[in-house]
Structure 1
Amino acid sequence: MLNELHVNQIYRNLLHGQWVESTSGKTIAVRSPVDDSVVGHIQAMTQSEVDQAIADTKVALKTWALRPMSERADILYRAADLLEENADEIARIMAMEIGKTLPSSQNEVIRSAEFIRFTADAGQNIEGETISGDKFPGGSMNKLSIVTASPIGTVLAISPFNYPVNLTVSKVAPALIGGNACIMKPPTQGAISALCLAEMFRQAGLPDGVLNTVTGKSSEIGDYLTTHPGINFINFTGSTKTGRHISGLAGMVPQILELGGKDPAIVLEDADLKKTAQLITVGAYSYSGQRCTAVKRVLAVGSIGDELARYLTLEVEALKSGHPMEEGVTITPLISSEAADYVQGLIDDALAKGAVLLSGNRREGNLLYPTLLDQVTPDMRIAWEEPFGPVLPILRVSSAEEAIRLANESQYGLQASVFTNHIDKAFTIANRLEVGTVQINNKPERGPDHFPFLGVKDSGMGTQGIRYAIEAMTRPKAIVVTIRPELVNPVEDTPVTEGQGESEIS
């Protein structure tokens, strides 16, 4: 099913329904973080080819935007079915391309198919509205506004390495159901998995040019894409540094930016510490901590520090590290040696400043074994910086008030968790945390995908979540009907009292 994507492991780009090679003649090797083997080669597109891809969407938009919602939905349903049918093959590619475990890769593909189906459902359930003029003071029953949703144009979807299928689907599917066209820009690591997704939409019957893909070096086409006058909306997931850069360049182009996080888990003294430790461990170390919603620090309140640290140590030491294809593995090699170096630097800084090592601090190439640090203090980098790796710091605080203060002093505001057996305490703390989402007695996580997903401060702007994303990538269009034009004053634009004639209007 995926054979048309590549020739001899050279993957091409989708342009007007065809898989084509770049005129540059250049490709970029996608190397596995697991063993440095070449998974495949992707095209290094030129700026003129970016122009062509965007121009092609403008032609396709003219007819796609006029397609009935039911027809757009049918194509999305077929794409979801095809994605499920090819889940095992795409998951195997993903496991080697980004080092994600095979079960997690399979789950990502299946979840993405479900996302597409729900998006098709949601699109068909979004209704317009009619507004009577007499609802506004001094208004008239003579006017009626019919409000519908119109596509915003060409959407640039930029996805990250860690969820190359799901975080591409979360941008593309809502854009398409809203009648938009898309330019898909995947990361180098993860590009092949994302191109497989594009093939599913092509096979599903998406009209030529509605979805085009762009791959290449960010230094050559990155800024060119985000400042291109043909781009009408930017939907980006990635680092805060890159998000700020894009936002500064894009100016008035509307955007959704899903950026970094430093998600705290606040654990109160009345929490079930054993269960809490289990949830925190899953939240912190799944996919080696390479998740924006990973638990990135524990704020242990009061006297529970020793007991919580003991439970966490038991959980962390039970984690299995190794190859993503091995059964039962949680910790796999990080995406690059640079990423591993950065995480190791955070660990070294904390230990040099007095943190206590409870587990880990072993490294084999890009593979960092799960590391747990206790007695971490605010002067350590790990207390504030996002590691994007398998390390978890425990900060001991004297009160819930101190925990709230430390949580809110972060530059990030994505998610937070509060663990307690008292719901009133949970809501009191939740209402004071400066984040997009607070999880009560659960780890931070994305989804279910129809829930709003957003960050504040340096964690982003705009709201993901299926309905919210559809609404963001469409705009209201109002058509005002004057029911009885003869009753409108042509000078003052005010209604004429029933029974008055033209000669009576002064």
Structure 2
Amino acid sequence: MSRLANQAKSIKQFLFINGTKIEAPAYAPLYSPYSGEEIAQIAMADRHLTKQAITAAYHACKVIGKMPAYQRAEILERVAALLKERADEAAEIISRESAKPIMFAQAEVARTIETYKFSAEEAKRIHGETIPFDAAAGGAGRIGYTVREPIGVIGAITPFNFPLNLVAHKVGPAVAAGNTIVLKPASQTPLSALFIAEIFAEAGLPAGVLNVVTGPGGTVGDAIVEDERVSMITFTGSPSVGISIRKKAGLKKTTLELGSNSALIIDKSVKIDEIIDRCIMGAFSNQGQVCISLQRVYAHREIYEEFVEKFTKAAKQLKAGDPLDPETYISALIAKGEADRLLEWMEETKASDAQIITGGKLKNGILEPTIITGADRKLKVSCQEAFAPVVVVNQIDSIEEAVEQVNDSRYGLQAGIYTNDIKTALYASQELQVGGVIINDVPTYRVDQMPYGGVKESGTGREGIKYAVEEMTEMKLVVWNQS
């Protein structure tokens, strides 16, 4: 077992405030979602300690805000280099605290390294533009330009499903732009956040720029959202919590990446053998606990039966078990309550005309990869976010019908379409009501420099380093009167 992962087992994990490990008044055990063993004792911050972290971040604003861009870039480059050196440790921490199979944890670490590299590069590209004032009669004799300035203290609240990379999508651009951060990681996955805080400290980030405060959302999260010194909230999680944050945040900037039940359309001209592996990855990687996990498939009637047969066969071959086993593809959901919820959804499905082709049951505490056909759009497995290895496959007679069914959702994060017809692809790209349309791939596709976000109850704002930097800076106009 790697050094840091071994240290994490059954020992206290402190808060990280102003560059220092801080004790909390209480600690809570952290259990492995897979084995149930205790892996750490996690500090439970109270409101006072959260305010202390905000104070540290507020005072550090001048330090990081005045730091030259090349120095911020150098820190981020060192973070990427240090993380690469300790990639195996990081992957094991992710796997232990979240039950993410190690193959996917390793891929997350590799992506996170890229994310910090992109952040380092973007730190050097923050600039404004000149304004042609003399284009207006009242602008003669004047010149002007815009600059982008750090917004200040950013409150970041992150989820469990990508505990290292989704932290990077908030911390990386925040540091690149010269902001400070108070980070509240998900209660089940605090270890990777504390790990990256140590990496940042080793890379030379000034004290107070990154603060990690663990504890209950009702205490820590509310204190961050409500504090006047916090200028922006960036949150990834459920729509209900996101809506609550939006109400409490007042005039603060908010970037909210919320729910989804992402869909894929498969046209009649598609060669099914060429897409099965991608569909398996899109639906079942990380137990389907991905914001853009493939949850709904609309397959043209001419290839529907072939797709269902081959998709089901491939799903049955996936190995379930210990997340630290390099051959494991499916492991436990993040909490027992999540498995219970899905089993209730399965009972609702059984009472309908839908068919559970494979899965739908727990085996050794792991929800089997589940494929459902003929599901009515009002069933929970269709209209809500499963966040589990559950996929609905329905037959459609036309692309227009498929687009209508994809759009019949409260969510709109990403959607995909496989087609060999350029007019069909163009039609889908124009008519799908989502933040991103992925042509000839699953909706689960993401690289970390692309703009990422949705419409409807999937959230507001965009992530992706360049776009996050825009969210995390304020535009200032400077006008010179030469007369």
* TM-score range normalised by the length of the shorter chain: over 0.9
Gaps of 5+ in 2: none
Alignment of 1:355-374 (within 5 A): 355-364=354-363, 366-374=365-373
Alignment of 1:450-461 (within 5 A): 450-461=449-460
Question: Could you tell me which of 13, 22, 28 is aligned with 2:15?
Answer: 13
Give 3-state SS (helix, strand or coil) of 1:417's partner.
Answer: strand
Alignment of 1:411-450 (within 5 A): 411-450=410-449
Cα shift at 1:331: 0.8
Give 3-state SS (helix, strand or coil) of 2:475's partner.
Answer: strand
Cα shift at 1:121: 0.7
In structure 1, the partner of 2:186 is: 187
User: How far does the alpha carbon of each residue in 1:282-306 deviate from its partner, in whole angstroms, 9 at most, with x for none?
Assistant: 1001111010111001112233221
After superposition, the Cα gap between the structure-2 partners of 1:8 and 1:298, relative to the gap in structure 1 and judged at 3 Å, is: closer
User: How far does the alpha carbon of each residue in 1:365-388 deviate from its partner, in whole angstroms, 9 at most, with x for none?
Assistant: 541111111122224221211111
**C-alpha contact (below 8 Å) 1:33/1:366 kept by paired residues:** no
Q: Distance between the aligned counterparts of 1:447 and 1:425, measured in 2? A: 22
Alignment of 1:281-300 (within 5 A): 281-300=280-299
Q: Distance between the aligned counterparts of 1:152 and 1:126, measured in 2? A: 13
- Residue 42 (str. 1) matches residue 56 (str. 2): no
Alignment of 1:174-323 (within 5 A): 174-323=173-322
Q: Distance between the aligned counterparts of 1:216 and 1:338, measured in 2? A: 20
In structure 1, the partner of 2:64 is: 64
**C-alpha contact (below 8 Å) 2:320/2:331 kept by paired residues:** yes
Q: Distance between the aligned counterparts of 1:111 and 1:134, measured in 2? A: 46
Cα shift at 1:479: 2.2
After superposition, the Cα gap between the structure-2 partners of 1:139 and 1:127, relative to the gap in structure 1 and judged at 3 Å, is: same
In structure 2, the partner of 1:107 is: 107
User: How far does the alpha carbon of each residue in 1:126-167 deviate from its partner, in whole angstroms, 9 at most, with x for none?
Assistant: 333232421334421x21213211010100111100001100
**C-alpha contact (below 8 Å) 1:5/1:11 kept by paired residues:** no
After superposition, the Cα gap between the structure-2 partners of 1:8 and 1:389, relative to the gap in structure 1 and judged at 3 Å, is: closer
Q: Distance between the aligned counterparts of 1:404 and 1:148, measured in 2? A: 42
Cα shift at 1:3: 9.7
In structure 1, the partner of 2:98 is: 98
User: How far does the alpha carbon of each residue in 1:443-467 deviate from its partner, in whole angstroms, 9 at most, with x for none?
Assistant: 1235321111010000010011110
- Residue 156 (str. 1) matches residue 158 (str. 2): no
Cα shift at 1:361: 2.3
- Residue 344 (str. 1) matches residue 347 (str. 2): no
User: How far does the alpha carbon of each residue in 1:335-373 deviate from its partner, in whole angstroms, 9 at most, with x for none?
Assistant: 011111111222221122022222112313541111111
Q: Distance between the aligned counterparts of 1:5 and 1:213, measured in 2? A: 18
**C-alpha contact (below 8 Å) 1:335/1:366 kept by paired residues:** no
Cα shift at 1:220: 2.5
Cα shift at 1:47: 0.6
Cα shift at 1:250: 1.0
- Residue 54 (str. 1) matches residue 54 (str. 2): yes
Bigger radius of gyration, 1 or 2?
1
After superposition, the Cα gap between the structure-2 partners of 1:95 and 1:298, relative to the gap in structure 1 and judged at 3 Å, is: same
Give 3-state SS (helix, strand or coil) of 1:439's partner.
Answer: strand
Q: Distance between the aligned counterparts of 1:137 and 1:448, measured in 2? A: 46
Cα shift at 1:185: 0.6
Q: Distance between the aligned counterparts of 1:10 and 1:464, measured in 2? A: 33
Cα shift at 1:427: 1.3
- TM-score computed with the length of structure 2 as normaliser: 0.96
- TM-score computed with the length of structure 1 as normaliser: 0.92
**C-alpha contact (below 8 Å) 2:294/2:444 kept by paired residues:** no
Q: Distance between the aligned counterparts of 1:327 and 1:230, measured in 2? A: 45
